[in-house]
Structure 1
Amino acid sequence: MVSTTENSVKKEALRYLLAGIATLTVVHALGRFSFTPLLPYFISDNMLTITQGADLATINYLGYLIGALLAVRYSGLKFIKRYLLIGLVGNVLITIAQCFTPQFDLLLLWRLLNGVTNGITFVLAPALLLEWFIMNNKPQLSGLVYFGVAGGLLAGGLLVDSTASFLQSAQRWIPVAVVSVILALYSTIQFVKISVQRPEYGSTNSKTPYSNRLFDRRSTPLFLSYIGAGLGYILPMTFLPTLAHDTMPTDSIWIRNVWIITSTSCLVFIPIWNWMGHRYGDRLSLIYTYILQALGVAMVLLTPSGVGIIACAILVGSGFLGSVMCTQRLARYFQPHQGPRLSAALIAIYAGSQLIGPWLAKLWIEHGGTLLQSFAVGLGAFIWGLFWSLRTPKT
């Protein structure tokens, strides 16, 4: 009987993990970050300009912040599954709508709503799965859900580049939309089945009752460091392919592959960060993620050529999901009694900080600066994140 029950839990864990991976692929990697490899093509099609691309990125991140804040409101276990599914389905419908929208003004609306649904889903899906994994004694699997972001980044880059010669303008979204519909259907079927219960914390018999405060002396440095994570990674993850098109020869093989290199690095390092966090602690792993990403942005600033751009793609790609994974788990370790609410608050901070990046880049370019120079903001942000992560308590 024990063996049968354990096998049943393992099968459920695999199905729910795959559903979570597919969900993050749809809303975050395809729905959101496919815009990054698409932007150079939209510019070459004369559909958008670089400043319009920055505007679309900024409003998408504003929507992401709004969605994350809404997720704080609906992170209770009685709401979480319902609003997760609403966000997922809404995100797919918006991606489909973009296939028929070359107009910039209407795209602003779609990218805003894409951000809202992405923010809701990106918060609630990992939070729901983390609660289920902990409830079933499998917390070590929680970080693997971010394979959806890494694998989706790779898939999005391949979809965009492999169909670039066949499609034009807004039609370039079509391959992304088709894959999104298929994955969202599978995820919806699985998430309908999942059920979680809130564990009891801080009961009358507990010697250490828990507070409902999100900000305390242990969690505050972690929140502050996460500001650096959001602001630091967003410029490379939004503009690195465009920077490659601007600074490298048009026949360079790296122009088409810079996004694939970024996403492959991300994919390779997810199990490494997951293992390191489980083996040596999430705090130490988090520190290393900031170091790697800071080095990546420094490389592109010091050597703005093929070498610097590829180094940035590898180092930022390898570290940014590690920062997300380790911060989320470390925060829940500090405050285990309010996991979904805590996850939502962290993502809101992340979204708010990354909202600033494209806006600063646009201002800099409009005042005579270059896209490359704006990456200095990212370097400063990673140094900030490293500073505060070093001040996060060890226990």
Structure 2
Amino acid sequence: MVSRTEDSVKQKAVRYLLAGIAALAVVHALGRFSFTPLLPYFIQDKMLTITQGADLATINYVGYLVGALLAVRYSGPQFIKKYLLIGLLGNALITLAQCFIPQYEWLLVLRLLNGVTNGIVFVLAPALLLEWLIMHNKAHLSGLVYFGVAIGLLAGGILVDSTAASFKAENRWIPIALVSLILAIYSGMRFLEIKTQSVGYHDKDSKMISKPKLFDNRSTPLFLSYVGAGLGYILPMTFLPALAHDTISENGIWVRNVWVITSISCLLFIPLWNWIGHRYGDRLSLIYTYILQGLGVAAVLFIPSAIGVITCAVLVGSSFVGTVMCTQRLARYFQPHQGPRLSAAMIALYAGSQLIGPWLAKMWMEHGGTLLQSFAVGLGAFIWGLFWAWRTPKA
């Protein structure tokens, strides 16, 4: 009987993790980051300029911040599933709407709404899964949900490049939208099955028994390091394909497929970061993710060639999800009684630091600088993140 129960829990864990993977693929990889490999094509089609692309990226990150803040409000057990489903299906429908709207002004609105729904789902889906996994003594599997980001990045890059000859301008979103709708429906059906009760809530009225402070001596350095993580990774994850297409003279197969390289690196390293964090501690794993991302951005700054671009793609792509994974688990360890609320606050901070990056890049270019030079902001951010990660207490 015990064995049968354990098998049932394992089957549910796999099923729910697949739902989480699909959800993150829809909102964060396909809905959000497919814009990165699409941007060079939009510029080529004369649909957008590079500065308009920066504006659209910035407004998307503003929406992401708003969505994460909304998730803080709606992370209670009486809200979490409802708003998770609304955000998930809404995000897929917004991606579909982008297939038919080329106007920059309307795209600003859609990218804002895309960011809002992305922020809600990116907070609530992993938080809901983590609570269920903790209840069933399988918290060590929680990092695997971020496979959704890696798989979605890879799928988005392949879909964009493989259909580039078949579509023009706004219609380039069509393959992305179709896949997003299918995955959103599948994921939503699975999330409806999940039953969990977050620690720290009354069963009767779902009000918090207590709300300890989010910032204390242990968690504050972790929060500060996460500011550097958000600001540091967002420039290469937004502009690296555009930089490869327009700045690097060697336009070989590796440079043309830099987004695919980034995605494959992310995919391969997620289980490694999950294992290192579980085996040697998330703090040590977190420190290494900052070092590798900093080296990646430094490579493209000091070696502005195909070698530098590919190195940046591999090192940043392989490490940024590890930063998210390890930070979330460390925070949950430091403050175990407010898991969803803490996750929402962390992502809100991450989102707030992200929106600064594209804005700084745009301002720099408008004042005569180059896109490549703006990557120096990312290097400084990773140094900041490494400093505060080192000061984070050992778990």
- Please give the TM-score of this superposition, normalised by the length of structure 2: 0.97
**2:20 is the counterpart of 1:20:** yes
Aligned-pair distance for 1:92? 0.5
Deviations 1:220-239 (A, max 9, x none): 00000000000000000000
Residue 354 of structure 1 corresponds to: 354
- CA 1:200–1:352 in 2, change beyond 3 Å: closer, same or farther? closer
Aligned to 2:123: 123
Please name the residue that 2:168 is paired with.
168
1:311 corresponds to which residue?
311
Shift of 1:210: 7.7
- 1:290–1:383 contact (8 Å) kept in structure 2: yes
1:159 corresponding residue in structure 2: 159
Please, which moves more after superposition, 246-255 or 268-277? 246-255
Hey, what does 2:136 align to over in structure 1? 136
CA contact (8 A) 2:229 2:382 kept: yes
Identity of aligned residues (%): 77
Q: For 2:250 and 2:306, how far apart are their aligned partners in 1? A: 12
Spell out, residue by residue over 1:85-114, the C-alpha distance to the aligned partner (whole angstroms, 9 max, x if none). 000010011000000011100000000000
**Deviation readout 1:116-150 (Å, 9 max, x if unpaired):** 00000000000000000000110011000000000
8 Å CA contact retained: 2:250, 2:306: no
d(CA) in 2 for partners of 1:368, 1:348 = 32
Counterpart of 1:88 in structure 2: which amino acid?
Answer: L
Residue correspondence of structure 1 range 170-189 to structure 2 within 5 A: 170-189=170-189
Counterparts of 1:190-201 in structure 2, within 5 Å, are: 190-199=190-199
Q: What displacement does 1:211 show?
A: 5.8
Instruction: Kindly provide the CA deviation profile for residues 168-224 of structure 1, in whole angstroms up to 9, marking residues without a partner as x.
Output: 0000000000100111111011000101013369xxxxxxx9861000000000000
- Residue 293 of structure 1 pairs with residue 293 of structure 2: yes
Q: Which amino acid aligns with 1:9?
A: V
Q: Which residue of structure 2 lines up, in the alignment, with residue 385 of structure 1?
A: 385
Query: SS at 1:31's partner residue?
Result: helix
State whether residues 245 and 251 of structure 2, in contact with CA within 8 Å, keep that contact through their aligned partners in structure 1: no
Correspondence for 1:206: none
Q: What residue in structure 2 maps to residue 223 of structure 1?
A: 223
What corresponds to 2:206 in structure 1? none
**What is the distance in 2 between the residues matched to 1:91 and 1:249?**
37
1:22-101 to structure 2, matched below 5 A, reads 22-101=22-101
Matched, 1:275 2:267: no
Q: CA deviation at 1:254?
A: 2.2
Letter in 1 for 2:291: I
Task: Give, in whole Å, the separation in 2 of the partners of 1:302 and 1:250.
Answer: 16
For 1:57, the aligned partner's letter is A
Q: What CA distance in whole angstroms lies between the structure 1 residues aligned with 2:79 and 2:251?
A: 51
Kept after mapping to 2: 8 A contact 1:161/1:256: no
Counterpart residue identity of residue 216, structure 1? D
Q: Structure 1 runs of 4+ off > 6 angstroms?
A: none
Distance in 2 separating the partners of 1:357 and 1:125: 26
Separation in 2, partners of 1:251, 1:107: 30
In the alignment, the residues of structure 1 paired with residue 214 and residue 251 of structure 2 have an alpha-carbon distance, to the nearest angstrom, of 51
Contact 2:250 2:305 in 1 (8 A): no
The range that moved more, 76-85 or 249-258, is 249-258
Over aligned residues, Cα RMSD in angstroms?
1.3
Q: Which runs of 5+ in 2 are unaligned?
A: 202-208
Q: Distance between the aligned counterparts of 1:305 and 1:214, measured in 2?
A: 43
What CA distance in whole angstroms lies between the structure 2 residues aligned with 1:198 and 1:147? Answer: 24
- Which residue matches 2:204? none
Gaps of at least 5 residues in structure 1 are 202-208
Partner of 2:344: 344
Secondary structure in 2 matching 1:165: coil
1:5 maps to a residue whose letter is: T
- What residue in structure 2 maps to residue 112 of structure 1? 112
